[in-house]
Amino acid sequence: MQVLYKSTRGKEETVTASMAILKGLSEDGGLFVPTSIPRLDVPMERLAQMSYQETAYEVMSRFLTDFTEEELKQCISNAYDEKFDTELIAPLHEANGVHFLELFHGATIAFKDMALSILPHLMTTAAKKNHVENEIVILTATSGDTGKAAMAGFADVPGTKIIVFYPKHGVSPIQEKQMVTQKGKNTYVVGITGNFDDAQTAVKKMFNDRGLAEELNQAGYQFSSANSINIGRLVPQIVYYVYAYATLIREGKIKEGEEINVVVPTGNFGNILAAFYAKQMGLPVHKLICASNENRVLYDFFRTGTYDRKREFILTSSPSMDILISSNLERLIYRLTGEDSQKCAELMEALSKGGEYTITDEMKEQLSDFYGNYCSEGETREAISATYYGSNYVIDPHTAVAAGVYQKYLRETEDTRPAVIASTASPYKFTRSVMDAISDRYEGLDDFGLVDALEKLSGVKIPKAVEEIRTAPVLHDTVVDAPDMPATVKKILGIIK
């Protein structure tokens, strides 16, 4: 069965999967969604015997129906190889009575690698399929991890350039060092003086600027996106939830058909939306537990039905979740409206112009799959400490937000179904926050002193991604104000001097 894609804000026009990946964002500003969610029609006992790569093919082939078997298997093979430091790609680690799904074994030690290692291959394959002559310019805003993972994926990929904007004072020192030392003749990194939402809003405006698109086209370029708004990011993320469930069966931790709970630290809503899509495919998931940090915009939404971005932006120890506009939530909202693109567009316009929208009681009733809560900074530190002292396992602050919220869920519901927590980043990416939470004796150490201390404490070898940047030279040092981002893009592409 062919799965086509349509815009959350458009009429009934549909595009193929490859075209949706190439475009990234629809011309009307909407996000591409599948016209139907395919069933996961592979017997679970078969999935339980499959490698990550084999599982990826079974899941992704159901969504990306205009890719041939050979094309898709080649993309998967190019993505999930020795760039990952374990053959399992996404192993499960049991600690404190829950299963941590480790999504940080790729080139940049964060979960974004899971999708961004395959996106360049999907995109270049899609360009060939659709006879695209222009060079593809990947334009991305990052709250810390997407940028580096996208650059690592696209570095020196023929026919592409990648420009990444990040909040200059809104990422961890390790995250920033990873980005500004990125090699590749086609990679560009720019700090901005605002926050992530400023960067993301400016990027979306550039995507929707017809005049800019025409300027680019005349110069032989066209934009595409590596942000989680691209369906080519979302589909690969569904895979690891299916793989985690199959792993639990293979290891005898659950029986086939037994429900699990999935806990996801959430900023832009893409990672938990992938889990929701996995459930829609038929994966036996009971609750999707949405964990927020002190920027609790999603917690408030699930509690009240009102999405309100008009609040103070808080810089926390989990910067990849420091987001007030959760872009991927639009895909869920579209579903809640009964796939009413006009209603969805009205709600998104209300958010853009007035800073908030409220869903109807009928729509709110459909959120029963989800549970939302948040962790304060103090509770995040406590979760790191409790996990370490309870099971000698070190987690990063984003994962700690999820672990803390899961404990709140347990206390409220006494629901003891097996739980999988999406562990979205290596603790090596946030050494200061992690080590401070475990003990106060590390206060005098610099960032790389903390890296060495963490290795001794955890017994986990320092990842190559961190070891490499210890002495790597800074290659990118441009910083601009958010309003200057379009001019910066034109300068990089040589359209203006």
134 in Cβ contact with 123 (< 8 Å)? no
Q: Give the angle subtended at the CA of 187 by the CAs of 181 and 191, to the nearest 5°.
A: 65
Task: List CB contacts of 188: < 8 A, sequence separation 6 or more.
Answer: 161, 162, 163, 164, 476, 478, 492
Residue 256 and residue 259: Cα distance in Å, rounded?
Answer: 9
Helix (H, G, I), strand (E, B) or coil at 120: helix
User: Of 112, 279, 287, 429, which is the active-site residue?
Assistant: 112
- Structure-token pair, residue 416: 């003891």
- 156: exposed, middle or buried (C-beta count within 10 Å: 0-12, 13-18, 19+)? exposed
CA separation for the pair 350, 356 (Å, rounded): 6
DSSP 15: B
CA 307 to chain centroid, in Å, comes to 20
CB atoms closer than 10 angstroms to residue 353: 8
**112 in catalytic set:** yes
Cα separation values, 335 from 60, 92, 362, Å: 21, 31, 12
User: How long, in residues, is the chain?
Assistant: 497
User: Phi and psi for 380 in degrees, rounded to 5?
Assistant: -65, -45
Mark residue 192 as left, alpha or beta (left: phi above 0; alpha: psi -120 to 50; beta: remaining).
beta
What is d(CA 254, CA 234) in angstroms, rounded to the nearest whole number? 26
Residues that are catalytic: 112
